[in-house]
Amino acid sequence: MRAVSDAPKSPVKADIASLSQEALTQFVVTTLGEKSFRAKQLYKWIHQRGATSFEEMTDLSKDLRAKLTEHAHIATLTKDLEQRSIDGTIKYRWKTWDGKLIESVYMPSPERKTLCVSTQVGCAMGCRFCATATLGLMRNLSPAEIVAQVHAVNREVRGTDTKLLRPLTNLVFMGMGEPLHNFENLKTSLSILQSEDGPNFSSRHITVSTVGLVPMIERFGQETDVKLAISLNASSDETRDGIMPINKKWKIADLMEACRKFPLKQGRRITFEYVLMGGVNDADDDAHRLATLLVGVPAKVNLIQYNENPGLGYHTTVDNRAERFREILERAGVAAFIRANRGRDIAAACGQLANTEKERTFTPLRPLRAAVADP
Burial readout 289-317 (b: 16 or more C-beta within 10 A, e: otherwise): bbbebbeebebebbbbbbbbbeebebebb
Pairwise CA distance, residues 210 & 302, whole Å: 14
Percentage of the chain modeled with pLDDT above 90: 79
* 85-125 pLDDT tens trace: 888 899 999 999 999 999 999 999 999 999 999 999 999 99
Domain residue spans in the chain? Answer: 14-73, 78-371
Stretch 192-209: mean pLDDT, rounded? Answer: 97
Point out the annotated binding site for [4Fe-4S] cluster.
Answer: 123, 127, 130
- CATH number for the domain running over 14-73: 1.10.150.530
How confident is the prediction for the chain on average, in pLDDT? 89
Q: For the ranges 236-250, 292-306, 329-343, which has the lowest average pLDDT? A: 329-343
Q: Does the structure show a pLDDT above 80 at 23?
A: yes
Q: Given this model, what pLDDT does residue 131 score?
A: 85
- Above 60 in pLDDT, residue 348? no
Band (pLDDT 50/70/90 cuts) for residue 344 is: low
pLDDT tens for 120-172 read: 999 999 999 998 888 899 999 999 999 999 999 999 998 767 667 789 999 99
Average pLDDT (264-284) is 96
Non-local CB neighbours of 372 within 8 Å, separated by 6+ positions: 213, 245, 246, 249, 250
Which H or E element spans position 63? helix 62-71
Q: Which long-range contacts (CB under 8 A, 24 or more apart) does 290-293 make?
A: 290/232, 290/235, 290/329, 290/334, 291/328, 291/329, 291/332, 291/333, 291/334, 292/235, 292/332, 293/235, 293/252, 293/256
* Domain covering 78-371 in this structure, CATH number: 3.20.20.70
The confidence score (pLDDT) of residue 41 equals: 96
| Residues with active-site annotation | 103, 350
Which segments are annotated as binding site? 123, 127, 130, 177-178, 209, 231-233, 307
